[in-house]
A and B are shown apart, each in its own frame.
Chain A
Amino acid sequence: MEDFPWLSVLIALPLVGALIVGLLPRGGEELIKRAALGVSLVVAVVAGVMASGFDPGGARFQFDEKYWWIKQFGVHWAVGVDGVALTLVLLSVVLVPLVILASWNEADRSGGVDVPAKRSVKTYFVLILVLESMMIGVFAATDVFLFYVFFEAMLIPVYFIIGSYGGAQRSYAAVKFLLYSLLGGLIMLVAVIWLYPLSAKSTAEGGLGEGTFLFSELSKLNIEPTTAKWLFLGFFIAFAIKAPMVPVHTWLPDAAGQSPAGALVLIVGVLDKVGTYGMLRFCLELFPGAAKWATPVVLALAVISIIYGAVLAIGQVDLKRLVAYTSISHFGFIVLGIFAMTSQGQSGAALYMVNHGFSTGALFLIVGFMIVRRRSARIDAYGGVQKQAPVLAGFFLVAGLSGLSLPGLAPFVSEFLVLTGTFTRYKVPALIATAGIILAAIYILWMYQRTMGGPAAEKVKGMADLSARERWAVGPIIAVIVVMGFFPQPVLNVINPSVKETLVRVDQHDPASKISNVAENGARP
């Protein structure tokens, strides 16, 4: 099994599944849904089997494959995962079946406030499976060109999901999403292409003697500082739009407000991680000098994102938009951790990417269940739900508390690591960022109070509690959040070696500090 092409198979499986689902007869909707769920479960199992063979102490990129794809451009089909990429791949393959389960009826009864005319159920699940394949591909790619291909191609299924299955403003939101991402992607394209002539230079001039896009080769490049700064910017703008960071975040609330809840889990939970993942992987390792040059500005933007996202979240009246703004705040934390350039900071950021995927995923799913019941995403459409639907309210509370990083729940560990990691080097940003935690308490608890707390309002009378299917969709995520809150160490063990490599590459050492070995020993709450 050593040479089994795990990652290529993982990328191909959902595509094959999408093809099978696409060929099923249009009438049998139940069969289509079951088939889609089955495919995603198979993918998850295969990924699990692969992950069990990952050796944290082994080579940096494992399960790697490399074949020529377009020789003329120096492009390989090269895939492989390190710890960070592996955890993100796992996050994707775990979330997809749950999302399919949760959005069982989403395509026929839209999750949006205004229900569009009946859409093709089949297309919805085909698009989700295509998206899954691309999500795995984007994290597994170790060729910058291949990464770019997945990065851009991924937009198309999302665009159709938002545009066809979203709320009343769906086409506006879909176009805004696509144009923002496409613009970022195209700016990155210039930087990607630029890498080719740089690598084609002779070794004496700092090149590699042969044009290539292989990440492992490109990281040996010796790029002249001014050029490196431009290239860094090209990549960073694309990732900042994706992540999204203030001031290029405005597409997310619109996309979130209009998108069906299930797909939203994948958009915010996984797709946006491509942005932060790209910063950690490409911005830092390919252009370490430029990354250090840009650090002050990036840290400032990250802190602004944390506070601004949180403040705006407090003011939202729409549940999906609210959670979207909380995500902007959380992405600020992740970026802060990455650019703090300490091992705890980056380990925390990498762990945060996973935790945020689960915690926000759970929130969006439950919000989706609420919308299906009340046909409204507005907070004032609810009140006292916990009397009517205690299980729903309970899950919502746990997911919400994980969003405000309550100790004992997964995001706490990562947020703590990010803040301590940042504090050892950059005291002021860390202190300001800490205010984000307080704001988080406000937006989460106030949201819970307004929707779930108090006496059961007239308008939520008759609101059903979670069905068995819905419990099975959210239950596993809640379990993961709790388990990873107490035992983050296995995941950290996988992440830490990759983060160390990144730090070596950017030539940064942890400042001497008493808490500097927290990451190694694990942060027990």
Chain B
Amino acid sequence: MRTTAAVLAQGDISAPNIEYGQLAPMLLVFGVAIAGVLVEAFVGRTWRYSVQVPLAFLGLLGAFAWTCVLAYTDKPFHVAAEGALAVDGPTLFLQGTILVLALISLLLIAERGGKDHFAPQASALPGSEAEQETMAAGITQTEVFPLMMFAVGGMLAFPASNDLLTMFVALEILSLPLYLLCGLARRRRLLSQEAAVKYFLLGAFSSAFFLYGVALLYGYAGSVRLSVISDQLGKNAGNESLLLGGVALLSVGLLFKLGAVPFHMWKPDVYQGAPTPITALMASCTLVSAFGALLRVFYVAFENLRWDWRPVMWGVAILTMVAGAVIAITQTDVKRLLAYSSIAHAGFLLTGMIATSRDGLSGTLFYLAAYGFTTIGAFAVITMVRDAGGEAGHLSRWAGLGKRSPVVAGVFAFFLLAFAGIPLTSGFTGKFAVFKAAIESGATPLVVVGVLSSAIAAFFYVRVIVVMFFSEPEADGPTVVAGPATAAAVALGLTATVVLGVLPQPMLDLAGDAATQMFVR
């Protein structure tokens, strides 16, 4: 009370100037999320699903449309909300990508009709009577929609944050709902809850690192604003140990979210345990968002420090590519396999980021979009291949799928080839873009490591194809169950993977345009 009075007494405080128009996509998504919570509270159980799904779709579509309008009308390049958020080319590109990928993930999340992925009531203990009752009552889980919208809102804000505190808030907004979502799997609930706890504990730990880093950087620069940190670096003033410590701790927090080695431990467990639609959401949108934030921090705040962080990032990139590819070889669960593949891809993306050039930025942006579509498509296929007890996760169960359902297996094989970077798929174009940027910046050894780990990675992608196509089907093999929404998600993923591989020019132009002015400061 006293402080409010004191502030009011001063009288000269002006209301913060918020550019609502430019922040509308984020605000819309958050608004829909809150509306979703209200729907949960006030709409009857039977109606919730049919209200939540259109609400979420319209919210994401509206936000995407607004992002497009923003990008096409005035090519924005400014800071908004008193400098807390940046609205520039990369922001809009990343936000647009996240929104489209979230829409496709929503198709998977919204799939119902006997193909539910979520526990009817998360609070019911696994194996308890309460769980039996909720199952029997046919309750449909709808809390996922507002939770997902909150997460997406956080993802939109994360790469747009222009100061480290906003970035931290965005990080928490995107993470907390994801921790919950991870624990909601309908089947193998203990595994799912274990994943959620593991993700939460490690995530909280990495948040602490992030925050500690922010504190040290504040101590160094006297501000959490990225541009001020950059200016301070230019002046070569301040305590260097605070700076280096801050950069290191902050990087740990960011690299954790990408799952770069050695901060990748959570990824396989969480990807495996989480309900597959949520895994798809994390593997695409979260990765895009986290990479966006990483790019902004390193391109804006620490650009002048690149001679110091580059060698470390080289090490991280090499470790990430090699470890991701090598460990993946021994995996026998499809979702874990894709988790390690995602780690390896984070490494490839880091090579583009290390270039710290315009080409590096546009290449990374393109790669993120291309990889996101392929990943969602691949996880969507995983949701379709089912046993009596849910998804057939073990690789041996996929034996002979190519004969049982050639189309589904063929599509999955195509996604795997895209991951492996075979020409005429989006994966190749993306890899070419980031490797080209890396070579231009003189990081040829890094690219050599990159192609060698691509070759290792190709081995396990090919192994899955061998299992699917060249081995005989088991008598009691899994069945392929395709709901219309899931099929649509697969089709969209496939289309994007083909188009970005064969005719990538428009998308490359978009990424190039987004990167022309680099980041606003």
Contact = CB atoms under 8 A, between A and B. Distances in A.
Interface of A: 68-73, 117, 120, 148-150, 152-153, 155-156, 159-160, 163-164, 170-171, 174-175, 178-179, 182-183, 186-187, 189-190, 193-194, 196-197, 200
B471 interface: yes
A201 to B, nearest CB: 11
Given A175-B462, A179-B462, A189 B440 contact: no
A174 B470 contact: yes
B471 A171 contact: yes
Nearest to B441: A197
A6 B448 CA distance: 38
Contact of B432 (A73, A171, A175): A73
A196 B462 contact: no
Contact of A70 (B406, B452, B471, B508): B508
A182 B509 CA distance: 29
Given A170-B470, A193-B432, A70 B504 contact: yes
B447 to A, nearest CB: 6
Nearest to A197: B440
B516 to A, nearest CB: 12
B491 to A, nearest CB: 18
Nearest to B508: A72
30 contacts: A69-B505, A70-B504, A72-B505, A73-B432, A73-B508, A117-B472, A149-B423, A149-B424, A150-B423, A152-B422, A153-B423, A159-B462, A163-B465, A163-B466, A174-B470, A175-B459, A175-B466, A178-B462, A179-B458, A179-B462, A182-B458, A186-B454, A187-B451, A189-B435, A190-B435, A190-B444, A190-B447, A193-B432, A196-B440, A197-B439
A366 B465 CA distance: 32
A148 B509 contact: no
B462 A72 contact: no
Contacts of B512: 72
B469 A164 contact: yes
B427 to A, nearest CB: 12
B504 to A, nearest CB: 6
A178 B462 CA distance: 9
Contacts of B139: none
B470 A148 contact: no
Contacts of B439: 190, 193-194, 196-197
A453 B84 CA distance: 88
Contacts of B455: 179, 182-183, 186
Main secondary structure of the interface of B (DSSP, over half): helix
Contacts of A187: 451
Contact of B469 (A73, A160, A194): A160
Given A117-B472, A152-B422, A193-B436, A175 B504 contact: no
B469 A186 contact: no
Contacts of B78: none
Nearest to A123: B406
B463 interface: yes
B386 to A, nearest CB: 24
A178 B439 CA distance: 26
Contacts of A68: 505
B70 interface: no
Nearest to A187: B451
A11 to B, nearest CB: 13
A159 B428 CA distance: 18
Contacts of A160: 469
A278 to B, nearest CB: 16
